[in-house]
Structure 1
Amino acid sequence: MLGRSMLAYLPVNLANIVVSFGTIVVLTRLLGSAEFGRYAIAMITVQFVHMGIFTWMEAAMARFQARAERENDVRSHLKTLYTLGAITGLIGGITLISVVFLLPLSPQMTTVLAVALGSTALQIIFNLGMEAHKAAHRVKRYSFTYSGQTLLSFTLGILLVLFTPLREVAPFVGILLGLICFIAIDLTFMLTRMRGGTYQADKTKIYFAYGMPICLSLLLTYALNSADVYIIAAILGEASAGQYNAGYNLANRSLEILFIWIAMAVTPMAVTAFEKQGSAQSIEIMKTYGASLLWIALPAATGIALVSQDAGFILGESVRAEAVTVMPLIAFAGMINGFMNYYVQRAFMLSGKTGAFAWAMVPPVLLNIGLNLWLIPQFGLMGAVYATVISYALGLIIAIVMARRSYPLPLPMRATLEIAAACAVMWLAVSALPIPEAWHGPISLLIKASVGAGVYLTVCWLINAANCRNIIRDVWQKFRRPKLAEVAE
């Protein structure tokens, strides 16, 4: 079942891959390191703002859709959250843009931030629809709308970089235009779903009480992920911030796409099971989820560490040399962070103890900031990497301990050992490859990736790591079923 659900979300994952890698490949070539640094700072700022102001509504949409269906109250559920999103987006957007023009920033930074913050004020309307589709298991509609908006925004942004003087502002203008197009399509559909519903002030309080701690925890988590870029920019300059962000994104975003893909498929299943069948059924789903998450993500992190130097050709020359040095350790840091945010955090979500996750993030965030201020002056960009790894490890330990106090989160210890053993064999096999120096780059990357994947899957199949044979059979049957239907006809 997990394999089939993951396949249903494959178009979204492919769109994320195209945009994530396309952004890194294209923008690091078209923009200078300082311009890319300003783009990165603006993108991180937008994420901080969106999480702090808007995400509580998105979290409430995802968490309470199944309960609204059970109580036959979906129309009012949607009407309440869309009303809140429209009001907050309008007031928040105007306020944020006004504040930016009052800050003592350079004209370039002011312009890119103003456009970026305008886009995030509109993003909330789009995101509410996406969360509603996922929670209601409207997978095809979600996949089409999300993938379409993502690809259109990316394409428009790149065209604007190429053919206008907007430079680092162009990607955010592209996002704005893509959102306008697809909100016009999706909102028409959603308005029919909320027709006859009423705004419910009492539900607003429930949604806020549930979602705001998630906002705080996301802010702290994102600070743990990205505050180092601000510190690097302050200590080493915007160009260094761009170089670090390019390497970080190439390694971490590759893993995050996998985490989001699997979480996208499983989270609605776990919430629906919890609401309609009880905690026991959700625990069974989480057990399979945790093992599957590690089975896919840990070898990906190992592979990124193995091919980091060969993958440097993906990046523009202005950021390449420094970016590839941070990638190996960032890959494993991303693995730790992803498991914490996309697995352990689900225990807080299901138990409703979302505030506890926020408290769990406070110590690692403080440690991360302190380590960055201490290590970056001594070790440059690698100082930020060391701070990231240590802080993520502390955050994962604290989150697991606190999560298990309110929800019996299963820990896939046996699966972890099996997967780690398979990754170790893969590492030895790839490291032993006699690849000539002249082949380093795309050819070496393809050889290492092919051999590594083959060795890993073979070892996993032989020892049935994380019960992977069921996942593989699930996927195989999904592809085979249409062929069987043709034969039957």
Structure 2
Amino acid sequence: MTSNRNTLGRTLLAYLPVNLANVLVSFGLIVVLTRLLSAEEFGRYALAMITLQFAHMGAFTWLEAAMARFQARAERDNDEASHLHTLYALGAGLGLFLTFMFLAIVYLLPLSREMQTVLAFALGSAGLQAVFNLGMEAHRASHRIIRYSLTYSGQTLLSFTIGIALVMLTPLRESGPFLGIIIGLLVGLMVDLPRMLSRQSGGRIEAGRARRYAAYGLPLCLSLLLGYTLNSSDVYIIAALMGEASAGQYNAGYNLANRSLEILFVWVSMAMTPTAIAAFEKVGTEASRDVMRSYGASLLWIVMPAAVGIALVSNDAGFILGESVRTEAVQVMPLIAFAGLMNGIVTYYVQRAFMFSGRTQDIVWLMIPPVLLNIGLNFLLIPRFGLMGAVAATLAGYGAALILTVIAARRHYPLPLPIKAAAQIALACAVMAICVQLLPLQRYEPGLVTLIIKAGTGGAAYLATCWIINAADCRTLVRQGLETLAARRRAVEAAS
């Protein structure tokens, strides 16, 4: 357990540049685009981004999942060249074919010229993104963390910068961010692809290997599609029933709440998932279970207070958004934060059990009932309750998904349930909420000042409570971290 906690701390720090880049880009896009674009334009941007994610998940994520899952095994078996060559050839071929197919479909659909344009730019980036992501997954799985962090962060920030410049300086408007993504990906591939091609020297495209990877990855791909349908289909329904402006308002609030949590989930997941997979492949089930136990407790310790905090300061954080979406967006944020918490636990923790057991096809069947429930409730509740009806449907869908996946996951893999840590963290979150609610801030208008006061007070209350009750064994983690730093300082002093 001690080794797992030390590994988590070191790896989280190594992935910090990626997390900071994601934070900057995610919030920067919301802040800038909701100010530069009208509600209708932001609605079209949101619909195009969601469509891009659907296309990418449906076409390419099985390749990325296979890279993440089997890279360690290929290295163990001294067969990395054929492993990489097979996946890169599939990615390049599918990327070229499907990009042209996506563009043809967009041209044939009876959409407005503005919607066709933004969809064309968005879907035009899908194939490039797939090939770039293969390299990033290989670096992560091989623990080439510095290379991954620098390459991914650089591409993300470059795409963001160019995209915003195009919105401001050209008539592309909502299409600008997607052209920025294309340019950033091209630069990223120029940096990373030559090295990855050199690692494929002597490798062959193996049909049998491709079939094995498809058998593993396609069920995950379908499960991600279903999960994303649960996550984002409400935006399409809102656009159809209430208009593109309402879709933009809902998406702004949803993204500000949910994306904040997703960044934290991804950060912890990218630190621990490769470690858990390596333990499973090279040692066995019990070793991976020890890693997952630390992973689950640490995940809750970081993300649960963030969800509660978003709910507490949603009104104060409204100044981040442009006026065209602000009022409606802040109304959906508190409950979306808790929906995002459930979604993240399913996606970034529970589904790891299906990866280890090899029963990824089970996730597909498990996600169908929550998706159908969510879509049905959206059509039932949105006409009556507007955007809050979509929020209620999302909560119901994620709640059903969490229950079903936890029950099924533990049938095939001994997934640890950090119940004690969850109870301790919930208590600390309750103390945090009480302290924030008792603050005498009635004379202040909600904004940056109240946000800083509430965040500072809530964070201090949460950390103090966690320290007192040793929530998720946090005192041990801090003590080990301090001991590691002290040992390194002594080693440096001895060397000098």
- Class of the TM-score when normalised by the shorter of the 2 chains: over 0.9
Any conservation in 2 of the 1:7–1:475 contact (CA below 8 Å)?
A: no
2:444–2:450 contact (8 Å) kept in structure 1: no
Match of 2:422 among 405, 416, 420: 416
1:338 equivalent to 2:347? Answer: no
Evaluate the alpha carbon distance shift between residue 277 and residue 109 of structure 1 in structure 2; reply closer, same or farther with a 3 A threshold.
same
Structure 2 residue 151 is the aligned partner of structure 1 residue 114: no
1:304-343 C-alpha deviation (Å, 9 max, x unpaired): 0000000000000000000000000000110011001000
Calculate the TM-score normalised by the size of structure 1. 0.98
Distance 2:475 2:72 in 1: 31
Q: What do the CA deviations read for 1:351-406 (whole angstroms, capped 9, x no partner)?
A: 11111011111000000000000000011000000111111001000000111111
Q: Distance in 2 between matches of 1:230 and 1:481?
A: 55
State the AA in 2 paired with 1:464.
N
Distance 1:215 1:391 in 2: 19
CA distance in structure 2 between the aligned counterparts of 1:320 and 1:399, rounded to whole angstroms: 35
Aligned to 1:258: 264
**How does 1:382-421 map onto structure 2 within 5 Å?**
382-421=388-427
Structure 2: runs of 5 or more not aligned? 1-6
Q: Which ranges of 4 or more aligned residues in structure 1 deviate by more than 3 Å?
A: 473-488
CA distance in 2: counterparts of 1:39 and 1:477, whole angstroms = 48
- Please give the root-mean-square deviation of Cα atoms over the aligned residues, in Å: 1.1
Q: Name the structure 2 match of 1:88.
A: 94
**C-alpha deviations, 1:131-176, integer Å up to 9, x for none?**
0000000000000000000000000000000100000000000000
* Structure 1 residues not aligned, in runs of 5+: none
1:204 to 185, 188, 210: 210
| Amino acid aligned to 1:453 | G
- Counterpart amino acid of residue 265 in structure 1: A
Aligned to 1:355: 361
2:440 maps to 1:434: yes
How far does the alpha carbon of each residue in 1:247-270 deviate from its partner, in whole angstroms, 9 at most, with x for none? 000000000000000000000000
Matched, 1:125 2:131: yes
Cα separation, 2, equivalents of 1:341 and 1:83 = 28
Q: Hey, what's the Cα distance between the residues in 1 that align with 2:322 and 2:484? A: 39
8 Å CA contact 1:3–1:474 kept in 2: the answer is no
Counterpart code for 2:393:
A
| Alignment partner, residue 325 of structure 1 | 331
Label 1:481 to 1:11 Cα distance change in 2 as closer, same or farther (>3 A).
farther
1:137 is paired with a residue whose SS is coil
In terms of mean alpha carbon deviation, does 197-206 or 436-445 score higher? 436-445
After TM superposition, the structure 1 = structure 2 runs for residues 165-204 of structure 1, keeping only pairs within 5 Å, are 165-204=171-210
Q: CA deviation at 1:439?
A: 4.7
Q: Which residue of 1 aligns with 2:67?
A: 61
Partners of 2:119 and 2:364 in 1: CA distance: 27
Provide the rounded CA distance (Å) in 2 between the counterparts of 1:484 and 1:369.
Answer: 59
Aligned mates of 2:383, 2:479 — CA distance in 1: 51
The offset of 1:39, in angstroms, is 0.2
Match of 1:134 among 140, 147, 156: 140
User: CA shift at 1:440, angstroms?
Assistant: 2.3
Letter in 2 for 1:315: L
Counterpart-to-counterpart distance in 2, 1:306 and 1:487:
46
CA distance in structure 1 between the aligned counterparts of 2:86 and 2:339, rounded to whole angstroms: 39
- How many Å separate the matches in 1 of 2:294 and 2:306? 19
Counterpart in the other structure of 2:4: none
Q: CA deviation at 1:90?
A: 0.4
Select which of 459, 466, 469 maps to 2:475: 469
Shift of 1:121: 1.5
Out of 40, 47, 65, the residue aligned to residue 41 of structure 1 is: 47
Partner residue, 2:231: 225
Q: Distance in 1 between matches of 2:94 and 2:117?
A: 22
Q: Does 1:283 pair with 2:292?
A: no
C-alpha distance in structure 1 between counterparts of 2:425 and 2:212, whole Å: 41
- Give the drift of 1:487: 4.0
Aligned to 1:7: 13
Q: Which moved more, 1:462-471 or 1:443-452?
A: 462-471
Of residues 102, 107, 120, the one that matches 1:101 is 107
| Among 147, 151, 157, the residue aligned to 2:157 | 151
User: Are 1:163 and 2:184 counterparts?
Assistant: no
Question: Is 1:365 matched up with 2:371?
Answer: yes
Measured in 2, the distance between the counterparts of 1:41 and 1:391 equals 21
Partners in 1 of 2:449 and 2:492 — Cα distance? 39
Q: Distance in 2 between matches of 1:470 and 1:2?
A: 13
User: 1:156-206: CA deviations, max 9, x gaps?
Assistant: 000000100000000000000000001011001101111111111110000
